Amino acid sequence: MNADRFSHFVAIDWSGARGERHKGIAVAVCDALGGPPVLVRSGAGWSRAEIRDLLRTELPANSLVGLDLGIALPFTDCGAYFPGFPESPANARDLWKLIDTICADNPNLEATSLVDHPQLCQYFRRHGGREGTNFHANGAADKRGRFRVTERAQEAQGCKPYSNFNLVGAAQVGKSSLTGMRMLHQLGSSVPVWPIDPLPAKGSVITEIYTGLAAIEAGRKPGRTKIRTMDELNLALAILDSPPISRRGGIDDHSSDALLTAAWLRKVALEPQRWAPKAMSREIAQTEGWTFGAF
């Protein structure tokens, strides 16, 4: 890969919460020239639709974009996303279409209709102690539910992933992932999504990120990856060869996640092993996707 393949690195901390605008969504960008990462629209709540439109029409050319969400559901463990469901999709793009179609009447790219679907709800763990009969598909022994191959790779690197079928708990990513898949379907072919789509020779590309992985590689301890002061953030940025951010004081963890991960993307984007993880087959790429950086 050419050293000038990417001109900008964008990290988006996402939210699956209900409502139009979310403090939990943060966007940070840094350029390839080496300046510090900066927040886009600092202090203003983003909507998911605004992020969709930004990705569709406002990205700098040749941007590498990281989305902090799961771009697909587990497939490899059972040979299907929804084993036993006759309309279970065969690949990630068809999964996105199914989710967006079922949830077409849900506002703000929410996914309520999917998790309340009379059949599909049985694959999820929901609030109120409602665990679907298929949450542990094929009798899976892991009480945390089903995992993608990339999430097992994350574990090997010190992360603590959650199943995308789990919608309960402060650290769950299921809601974020489902809302994100709606957005990805609506983006269509506007921006390729690696590895579901091949990495193009030029132009922008979207990847899945795990901000905890970036934090660990920036010197944070597993389980203590959240950063809430500028001093801590600048210490982590220094490990990623990034200049410091001049502001001092406190910072919310959504903003720090985005800022740190933008700098991390710039640091590791040209490492060949990041684009060719050993456990990722072509089928896994097209059904489950992969978390950029996990290898």
Q: For each successive 10 residues of the chain (295 residues), what is the average pLDDT?
A: 93 95 95 96 85 96 97 96 96 98 98 96 93 80 88 92 92 94 97 97 97 95 91 97 93 96 97 96 98 94
pLDDT at residue number 153: 95
pLDDT at residue number 44: 67
pLDDT at residue number 141: 61
On the 0-12 / 13-18 / 19+ scale of CB atoms within 10 A, 238 is: middle
Residues 77-115: b if buried by 16+ CB within 10 A, e if exposed: bbebbbeebeebbebbbebbbbbbebbeebeebbbeebb
pLDDT at residue number 142: 75
Contacts 24+ apart (CB under 8 A), 44-48: 45/21, 46/21, 46/22, 47/20, 47/21, 47/22, 47/108, 48/14, 48/15, 48/22, 48/108, 48/109, 48/179, 48/183
pTM over 0.75: yes
pLDDT at residue number 73: 98
pLDDT at residue number 205: 98
pLDDT at residue number 123: 96
pLDDT at residue number 171: 81
